[in-house]
Amino acid sequence: MESLIQNFFNLEIYAAVFPYLLRGLWTTVWLSALVIPLGAAAGLALALGLTQSDSRAVRWSIVGYIDFFRAFPPLVLLILIYFGGPFLGIELGKVTAVALAFVLNNASYYAEVFRAGLEGVAKGQMEAARSTGLTRAQALRHVVVPQAVKNVVPDLVGNSIEIVKLTSIASVVAMPELLRAARDAQSLVFNPSPVMLAAFMYLALLWPLTRWLGRLEHRRARR
């Protein structure tokens, strides 16, 4: 018991490494803030292409993209881009490699979410909008897409929370986010307490968001 506290809940060590971990947390936050909007925008574009295109080739390639990146583990993608790039003569900075891997990966999940949202909007909405002379693009922009997005807000939030958690894999390529900071601290103090502290910090950040997500889902189920 004693050793458990010494090794995992060592308050002295917590205090010592906390500032360091806090910087890591900041990296986690801005990395998420960078990747989430990019992934969501790409996902929306893919979903629009998928639901609006008349070309079978276009639809099938989009589905192909989505399924490919849903099947491909993000860690492997990251490693391939980060370590494989230099062999192609492409030297991507850490942030670019991580951002690229994340956006490629989660655009496919966002695309699925937006696709469900777009398919859930009644067909009559597009018809009514077109019948007043709006072009297809205008009808999408002002009538269909706003409704689609509103219907899938809980799924968008849920997906975004997943991305915040996903940033932890960037620790493998030594990106100084929260988990990396904790593991570096761990090797400095020869004690796993920093990792435990990082776990608490993830909880502090994400548990409230997960609860809020639960409320959003509950509200949607009742409508």
Element (H, E) at 84: helix 74-84
- Residue 31, classified by CB atoms within 10 Å of its CB into exposed (0-12), middle (13-18) or buried (19+), is buried
Torsion over CA of 108, 80, 187 and 193, rounded to 10 degrees?
A: 20
When asked if residue 71 is in the footprint of other proteins (CB under 8 A), the reply is yes
Q: Binding of other proteins at residue 187 (CB under 8 A)?
A: no
Q: Is 172 in the site for other proteins (CB under 8 A)?
A: yes
Give the total of residues touching other proteins (CB under 8 A): 63
Token couple for 221 = 């189920």
What does each C-alpha distance from 125 to 2, 48, 121, 141 come to in angstroms? 65, 16, 7, 12
Could you say which of 72, 92, 95, 96 contacts other proteins (CB under 8 A)?
72
Cβ 146 vs Cβ 198: under 8 Å: no
For other proteins, the closer CB: 55 or 190 = 190
Q: In this structure, what is the dihedral angle of CA atoms 20, 21, 26, 29, given to the nearest 10 degrees?
A: 160
Is 171 a binding residue for other proteins by CB under 8 A? The answer is: yes
Residue type, 215: R
Could you tell me the sign of the dihedral formed by the alpha carbons of 47, 51, 54, 58, in that order?
A: positive
Give yes or no for residue 190 binding other proteins (CB under 8 A): no
173 touching other proteins, by CB under 8 A: no
Closer by beta carbon to other proteins, 53 or else 138: 138
- Indicate which single residue of 189, 206, 216, 220 sits in contact with other proteins (rule: CB under 8 A): 206
- Exactly one of 41, 120, 146, 188 binds other proteins (CB under 8 A); that residue is 146
Among 15, 37, 131, 188, binds other proteins (CB under 8 A): 131
Query: Where do contacts with other proteins occur on this chain (CB under 8 A)?
Result: 3-4, 7-8, 67-68, 70-76, 79-80, 83-84, 87-89, 122, 124-125, 127-135, 138, 142-143, 146-147, 150, 161-162, 165-169, 171-172, 179, 183, 192, 195-196, 198-199, 202-203, 206-207, 209-211, 217, 221
